[in-house]
Structure 1
Amino acid sequence: MEIFSLAIAGFSIVIAAVLWLTYVAFLEIPGKSAHSILSCTVLLGALVALQLGHLLYFTGGPAPLATVAYRTALFVAPTSFFFFGRWALLPDEPFRPAMLLHLLPIALLLIPRLDVSLPMLFAVGAGYALWLGRLVYGLRARRKQFRFEFFWFGVMSAFGVGVLVLGFAIPYIDQAWFYHFYCNAIGAAFAIMVVALIANPDLIADLSEAARLRYGKSTLRDVDVDGLLARLAGQMADPKVYRNEALTLSTLAADLGVSGHQLSELVNTRLGMSFPRYMREHRVAAAKLMLVAEPTASILAIGMDTGFKSSSTFYAAFKEVTGQSPGDYRKANAKDS
C-alpha cells in the first residue's frame, strides 16, 4: 500500500501542474476571469501541498496533521473548491459580500482540537461537493451530452461524503488509514478529471455555458435571432471557416458582430448543442464526404484537412458524432457504393 500511495501522490503533483497550465493557458472558456484562475491556483496548490505531506509521510517523514503546511492546505481546500466551482461554472454571476462567509472554514484552523475542527471541516467540504453536484444535476435536461460529466461529478460527491465519514472516524482509527485514503481519493479525482478532459477538452466550457443558460439571464433579448442564425449558416457554408483549426468562438462571434456569449447561447438554445459540438459536427460531416470521395487519402490527412488539430481529436470527434471510427465508416460506405 505504501508504494501504491507514493505513486499516487507523485502522479497527483505532476498532474496538478499540467491541469493548471491547461486551464490557464489552453482552455478557451467564455468569461474565464482572474477570479477563476486565482481560485484554481489556490485549489491546486492546496492539493499539491496535501500530496506533498502524504509523500513525505510515506517516506518516513512527520505525520502530515502535525505540520502547519498540511493543516493550512487542508483547511484552505474546501473554500478554494467552492470559489473555483462557482467561478468556473457561473462566471457571470456578480460578487456578493455574503460570499465572504465561505472563507469561514479557514477560520477552523484556530480551533486547537483536531477531533473537533476536522469533522466540521469535512462536513463543509462534503456540503460543497454536494452543492456542485446539485448544480450540475440541474443541467439534467442535457444529460445525454454530459453523461460522462454527470458520472464524474457523482464520483466527486461520493468522495466528498467518503472523506466526511472518515473525518468523523479519525479519533477512532489509525491516522495512517486516513492518509492513505485521502491521498488515493485526491489521485482518483485527478485521474477522472484528466480522462474527462481527454474525452472532451471543452468540458468546462460546455458545462459553464449550460449552467449560464440554466441559471443566468439571456443575452439574446435585443438580437435578431433568425437573422443571426442565417448569417451563421452562411459563414459555416464556407469550408474555409470550419476547416480553420484556429477558429474559436470569439473570432467567429466577432465576424458575426455579436459577443461570444451571444453566439454560444444561440447555438445552445436554437441548435441544441454546444459550440464545440457544433464545430465538430460540421467538420465530421466534411470528413465523411472526403472519406468516401477520396478512398486513397489517408485518414490522418482528411482529419487535418477538415480542421482537427490531431489524429486523436479527429478519431474521438468522429466516433462521438457517428458512432463509428473513420476507418469503419469508410469501409461500410465503400461496400454500399
Structure 2
Amino acid sequence: MLTLLTQWMIGFSLISLALLWMVYWWVFKAFEKTWLSKIACSLMLTAMGLLQWHHWQWLELGHSVFSNPFYAAILFTSAPAFYLFSRELLQFNTRNHPALVLHFLPIALSPWLSGSIALPIAFTIGSVYALWLCLIVFKLRDQRQYFSLEFATFAAFAAIALFILLIGLLAPWVGEFWFVIAYSNLIGLALLAMLYLQLRFPDITQKTCDAVAASYAASTLKNTDCDALVSQLKQLLHEQKIYRDENLNLSTLADNLALSSHQTSELINTHFGQSFSRLIREHRVNEAKQQLIHEPKASVLSIGLAVGFSTQSNFYSAFRELTGETPGQFRKRMGIADV
C-alpha cells in the first residue's frame, strides 16, 4: 500500500513538474525572466523529475540509488539550480558573474563518492541554500504590507524542508527503502504545497516581487521623469481603465510605460505607497462599487468580470479584503436588492 501510494505521488510529481515548466516558460509573466532564470528553472525542475524517475525505477526494478553516481550528480545539480533561480527572483539587481558556475563544482566529485558520503553532503549543501533563502525572506519582514500569507503555509514548507534534510542526512542509516519512500513523498508534498499556494494566493509571486523591489535602497528610476510617468500611469488607470484587462500584469503595464518590471514596481511603491497588485485591486473594487449601485439589474458576477477579475472567488476575496464585506452585503447596505 505504501509503495503504491508512493508510485502515485511520483506520477503526480512528474506531471506537475512538466506543467510548471510549461507555465513558467510560456504563461508566467509576473516578472521579467532572464536567460539565467530560465536555465536555472529548467535545471531545477528537470533534476526533480529525474530524482523521481530514479525513485520509481528503484520501486519497480530495484535499481539502486545509493550506488548510482548519476543520482548523486542530480542531487548536486538541483540545489545550486534552486539557488540561482531564487537569486534571480529575489536579488534581481545583483550582477551575474561566470564564477556562479562554481556552484555546480560538486557534480564533478559524484563519480568518486559513495552514496553514504554523497547523499549527506548533497543534502547539507541544499540546507545551506535553504538557510540563505530563509535569511532573504526574513529581510522582507518590513515589507509585509505587500503580501500576507497564512502562517500554516509557511509552517508546512518549513516542516517539509526539515524532513527532507533529515532523511538526506540519515540516508545511510535508514536504508534505501525508507529513503526512497520518504523522499519521493516529500517531493510530492512540496509540489502539492506549492500548487496550493499559487491557487490560494494567485498573486503571491507578484507580491513577492513588489516586496523585493521595495526592499532595495538603490533606486532603479534614475534618469527617468517620474512625474511624467506618474501622470501617464494615472491616465492609463483613470481614462483608459487598463485594470479592466483580466490578463493585466506588471510586465504588460511596464511595456505601456516603456519601463522594466522592476522600475514600474518601484514607481508604484514610491509614488502610490502600495504594490502593483493592490493598486489594481483597489481600482477594480472602486469601479465595482459604483456599478453595484448604479446598475442594480447587473449580477455580481458580471460586474466582477467587467472590472477585470478573472473569477468570482477572486472578486469576492478582493472586495472583502478592501471593504470588509461581500459585494452582496455592500448592495444590501446601500439599500439595493442583490441579483
**1:271 aligned partner:** 272
1:212 and 1:105 mapped to 2: Cα distance?
A: 33
Q: With structure 1 as the length reference, what TM-score do the two structures score?
A: 0.88
1:116-143 deviation digits (Å, cap 9, x = unpaired)? 2211111110111111121111111122
Q: Does 1:205 align with 2:209?
A: no
| Pairwise CA distance, 1:60 | 5.0
What is residue 47 of structure 1 aligned with on the other side?
48
Aligned length: 337
Query: How far is 1:77 from its partner?
Result: 1.0
Matches within 5 A, 1:185-264: 185-215=186-216, 217-238=218-239, 240-264=241-265
Q: Deviations over 1:260-300 (max 9, x none)?
A: 33221111233232212211221122112222332331222
Q: Which residue of 2 aligns with 1:98?
A: 99
Distance 1:49 1:330, change over 3 A: farther
Cα distance in 2 between the residues matched to 1:176 and 1:199? 34
* 1:143-162 matches, cutoff 5 A: 143-148=144-149, 152=153, 155-162=156-163
Residue 173 (structure 1) shift? 1.7
Answer whether contact 2:143 2:214 (CA < 8 A) is retained: no
Cα displacement (A) at 1:67:
4.2
Maintained 8 Å contact 1:89/1:204? no
Q: What TM-score comes out, normalization by structure 2 length?
A: 0.87
Query: Could you tell which deviates more after superposition, 215-224 or 114-123?
Result: 215-224
Q: 1-side partners of 2:315 and 2:45: how far apart? A: 30
Distance 2:247 2:171 in 1: 51
How far off is 1:28 after superposition? 1.1
Matches within 5 A, 1:39-188: 39-67=40-68, 69-148=70-149, 152=153, 155-188=156-189
CA contact (8 A) 1:79 1:102 kept: yes
Question: Which residue does 2:303 correspond to in 1?
Answer: 302
Report the CA distance shift for 1:15/1:257 in structure 2 as closer, same or farther (over 3 A): closer
Q: Deviations over 1:198-255 (max 9, x none)?
A: 2333322332342243247312233343443343223321263222334443444444
CA gap 1:296/1:65 in 2 versus in 1, 3 angstroms = farther
Summarize deviations over 1:152-173 as a string: whole Å, max 9, x none. 5564444333322222222222
Q: Per-residue deviation at 1:69?
A: 4.8
CA distance 1:329–1:183, shift in 2 (3 Å): farther
CA distance in 1, matches of 2:172, 2:216: 41
2:27 is aligned with what amino acid?
F
Counterparts in 2 of 1:317 and 1:20: CA distance versus 1, 3 Å: farther
Q: 2: CA distance between counterparts of 1:108 and 1:330?
A: 67
2: CA distance between counterparts of 1:151 and 1:13? 26
8 Å Cα contact 1:90/1:211 also seen in 2: yes
Query: Where does residue 313 of structure 1 map in the other structure?
Result: 314
Distance 1:312 1:20, change over 3 A: farther
Counterparts of 1:225 and 1:10, CA distance in 2: 50
Distance 2:100 2:217 in 1: 18
Quick one: structure 1 residues 55 and 219, their matched pair in 2 at CA, closer, same or farther if it must change by over 3 Å? same
The worse-fitting range, judged by mean Cα deviation, of 176-185 and 95-104 is: 95-104
Aligned partners of 1:257 and 1:165: how far apart in 2? Answer: 48
Sort the Cα spacing of 1:61 and 1:289 in 2 relative to 1 into closer, same or farther, 3 A. Answer: farther
Larger mean CA deviation between 234-243 and 132-141 belongs to 234-243
What is the alpha-carbon distance in structure 1 between the residues aligned to residue 28 and residue 89 of structure 2? 12
Any gaps of 5 or more consecutive residues in structure 1? none
- SS of 1:173's equivalent in the other structure is helix
Gaps of at least 5 residues in structure 2 are none
Checking the alignment, whether the CA contact within 8 Å between 1:75 and 1:108 is kept in structure 2 is no
Give the equivalent residue in structure 1 for 2:323.
Answer: 322
Please state how far the C-alpha of 1:61 moved relative to its aligned partner: 3.8
Output the CA distance in 1 between the equivalents of 2:99 and 2:239: 49
Q: Equivalents in 1 of 2:186, 2:198: separation in Å?
A: 18
Distance in 2 between residues matched to 1:70 and 1:326, nearest whole Å: 54
Q: Residue 12 of structure 1 aligns with which residue?
A: 13
Q: Do the aligned partners of 2:31 and 2:206 also contact (CA within 8 Å) in 1? A: yes
- Paired letter, 2:268: V
Q: Which residue of 2 aligns with 1:291?
A: 292
